[in-house]
Amino acid sequence: MKCECETRSKLLDTALELMWEHSYGSVSVDDICARADVRKGSFYHFFPSKSDLTVAAFEKNWEESQVNLDKHFSPQNPPLERFRLYAKGLYQWQNEKKGQCGKACGCPYISIGLELSGHDDKISNEVQSVFNRYCRYFESALRDAAHEGLIADGDHANLARQIHAYSVGLLVLVKIFNNPEILKNFEIDLLNFIGAGAPAHSI
């Protein structure tokens, strides 16, 4: 018999996977339970609603993503290398996902956030919170790059938001065109975007 923590984790992983590959609206609680091999009563033991499950799934996914972000944006890495690692990781992530499910899925936060914008405040607030956390990584790297004279000094918080908006736009295009190769030159473009110039090699 599965322990409660395993059952809860399975529901979270399954829900995010289904919603990411399809959509929030097209995936029902029954679909999630069937794929996770969990009884519907167990679902409601853990989550009052699909919305609450989605928020929890986003948090779990963030905690897992944060492991890589902490590595990429570690102060032990030179500031510009942090952005290179982030760009490479994004490209690899999208290619791996397409290899797993046969199509480019973009980002679950973006897809579900857009779908439910203005309709579900809990999910919208969670997406906004995650996006703000990404921006803090960018802002820290920008500040260090400026301190080392690698980029011009300026409004790092605003530039961090622009980097995130740029990343979001590319991930939307990846999903629309079903093509992770849209991110192939993201490393070069990102460094140019922040005024650091292109590296000697692309992804």
The answer to whether residue 203 scores a pLDDT higher than 50 is: no
Q: Provide the pLDDT for residue 52.
A: 97
The answer to whether residue 202 scores a pLDDT higher than 90 is: no
Q: Provide the pLDDT for residue 173.
A: 97
- The Cα 187–Cα 199 span in angstroms is 8
Contact 168, 110 (CB under 8 A): yes
- The Cα 178–Cα 116 span in angstroms is 22
Q: Provide the pLDDT for residue 147.
A: 97
The answer to whether residue 37 scores a pLDDT higher than 60 is: yes
User: Which amino acid makes up residue 179?
Assistant: N
pLDDT, one tens digit per residue, over 57-86 is 999 999 999 999 999 999 999 999 999 999
Q: Give pairs for 24-29: CB < 8 Å, separation 24+.
A: 24/50, 24/54, 24/112, 24/115, 24/116, 24/123, 25/115
Q: What domains are there in the chain, each with its CATH number?
A: 51-193 (1.10.357.10)
43: three-class secondary structure by DSSP: helix
